[in-house]
Amino acid sequence: MDSHARDPLARTRVIVNAITAVVALAGLADATYLTVAHLAGDNSVCGPSQPCSIVLGSTYAQIVGIPTAAFGVLAYFSAFSAATLAAFGYARARTFLIVIVAAMFAFTLWLLYLQAYVLHAFCPFCLLSAAFTFCLAGLTLATPPAR
Amino acid sequence: MKRSLPFIIIAAVAVLTAGSGAMLYSSKQRSAAAETDAIGSNGSAMTPEHVRGEKRAPVTLEEFADFQCPACANTALEMIRPLERDYGSRLRVVFWHFPLPNHKHGRDAALAAEAASLQGRFWEMHDMLYRNQLAWSNVDDVHRLFEGYARELHLDVERFKKDFGGAQVSARVDRQQEYGASRGVQNTPTIFINNQVVAPPFSPERLHEAIDAAMPGKQRS
């Protein structure tokens, strides 16, 4: 209560960080699903969607033998952890959150570029993940800085 | 307690993610095994690699084809495509290679399609080969033409060339051809609808009739 009284934005920070953690959790679910489908060799993930199959079956679907989605799992889990810790007042977690979200943002832009200009096909799961990352970036920017 | 709470939450999410991932993985493995069993009613089960349409469609049309066979091109582009539009999610189409020895470039075309498949563009190469069948059927060296098609489809051409000559795509074509032979296929195109062979000659009407007969409820759409 004391910290809230001293810093009127403390409550807002907690709420925004909590929302950030929830969004990261949704991204984590999406990335986990794609990773499992890739590892299980499940080609039916895309259903009848041809563009989706093109993206998930392309050379870019894995990096040095590791499913690209697995990097997403790691990134979203890191973002979730950082946002949770930040919501509980760990100041350094916020710095880590900014770094990880910035990296995710850059990686997402590269993936979107690949889909639009190299593969000429989009996959809905990847677009959903991009939307989650953009939300995370927006929320991170919107979080009031600590005093 | 408050200090450790965030770490408890993070650990719980880590455990839940790993657990649900493992469960999903094992369920996908089980359903893949079930699918293989379902197809192999004749004892030589094989999971189709080139499928269009819904997995649970009530009717499956399988085509054994050779890319150099004009009737295959006509059947694929002029009959099967319109059928897919007509029946929508109720029809699933499966393609199997069956290159005939009397077609000089039939096997090379199958290899090209498989090499494209490794980059996720089987059906695009399938259409490209059929649409340009006259252009490549009578040339001596098809490699340059096929590489051009790969480039047009925005494939990694170096990888395409490597895969084209590789053992993996060759084995995939062989497996499908052997599978066709095990089901009694001798000529192309050979069409099965829900595992029942359809007698040639094919026409849109004949295929419609066969699909309607196999369709539960027996209605087109």
Phi and psi torsions of B111, nearest 5° = -65, -40
User: Do the beta carbons of residue B69 and residue B189 sit within 8 Å?
Assistant: yes
Maximum CA extent, chain A: 57
Q: Which residue has tokens 């920070």?
A: A13
Smallest CA–CA distance, residue A48 to chain B, in Å, is 5
Q: Tell me if the bond preceding B48 is cis, omega within 30° of 0.
A: no
pLDDT at A147 over 80: no
pLDDT of residue A118: 83
- The residues, any chain, with a CB within 8 Å of residue B134's CB and separated by 6 or more, are none
Does the pTM exceed 0.80?
no
CB contact under 8 Å between A120 and B154, yes or no, is yes
Range list of β-strands (E), chain B: 50-52, 59-65, 91-97, 190-193, 196-198
pLDDT of residue A98: 96
- Coil/strand/helix, residue B92: strand
Whether chain B has a CB inside 8 Å of the CB on A118: the answer is yes
Question: H or E element: which one contains A57?
Answer: none
Cα(B61)–Cα(B94) distance, integer angstroms: 6
Q: What is the pLDDT along chain B (221 residues), one digit of tens a residue?
A: 578 899 999 999 999 999 999 998 888 777 756 644 443 444 345 889 899 988 888 999 999 999 998 889 989 999 999 999 999 989 999 999 999 988 889 999 999 999 999 999 999 999 999 999 888 988 889 999 999 999 999 999 999 999 999 998 999 999 999 999 998 888 889 999 998 888 877 888 889 999 999 887 655 54
Cα(B93)–Cα(B50) distance, integer angstroms: 8
Q: Which residues pair with A63 in a beta bridge?
A: A66
Q: What is the pLDDT of residues A69-94, one digit of tens each?
A: 999 999 999 999 999 999 998 989 99
Cα(A85)–Cα(B114) distance, integer angstroms: 49
Cα(A69)–Cα(A37) distance, integer angstroms: 10
- Mean pLDDT for chain A? 86
Q: Which residue has tokens 């089901």?
A: B183
pLDDT of residue A2: 47
pLDDT > 90: percent of chain A:
56
User: Do the beta carbons of residue A88 and residue B5 sit within 8 Å?
Assistant: yes
- Structure tokens that stand for A99 in this block: 């770094």
**Which of A10-19, A37-46, B87-96 comes out lowest in average pLDDT?**
A37-46
pLDDT of residue A15: 92
User: Do the beta carbons of residue A21 and residue B10 sit within 8 Å?
Assistant: no
In a 13 Å sphere around the CA of B40, the CA atoms on its Cβ side amount to 12
- Please state, as a whole number, how many other Cβ atoms lie within 10 Å of the Cβ of residue B220: 11
Name the interface residues of B facing A (CB cutoff 8 Å): 2, 5-6, 9-10, 13-14, 17, 20-21, 24-25, 28-29, 32, 51-55, 89, 119-121, 123, 154, 156, 159
User: Do the beta carbons of residue A34 and residue A45 sit within 8 Å?
Assistant: yes
Comparison of pLDDT for A144 and B189, the residue scoring more: B189
pLDDT of residue A61: 81
Cα(A74)–Cα(B198) distance, integer angstroms: 51
In a 13 Å sphere around the CA of B65, the CA atoms on its Cβ side amount to 27
Question: H or E element: which one contains B12?
Answer: helix B5-39
- Structure tokens that stand for A78 in this block: 């890191």
Quote the ipTM score: 0.85
- Please state, as a whole number, how many other Cβ atoms lie within 10 Å of the Cβ of residue A121: 23
Candidates A57, A80, A77; CA nearest to A67 is A57
CB contact under 8 Å between B6 and A58, yes or no, is no
pLDDT of residue B216: 77
- Coil/strand/helix, residue A62: strand
pLDDT of residue B42: 45
- Interface with chain A: mutation pick from B24, B27, B85, B114, highest number of A CBs within 10 Å: B24
CB contact under 8 Å between B17 and A77, yes or no, is yes
Go through chain A and tell me how many residues it has: 147
CB contact under 8 Å between B120 and A87, yes or no, is no
Highest mean pLDDT among A5-14, A52-61, A134-143: A134-143
Whether chain B has a CB inside 8 Å of the CB on A77: the answer is yes
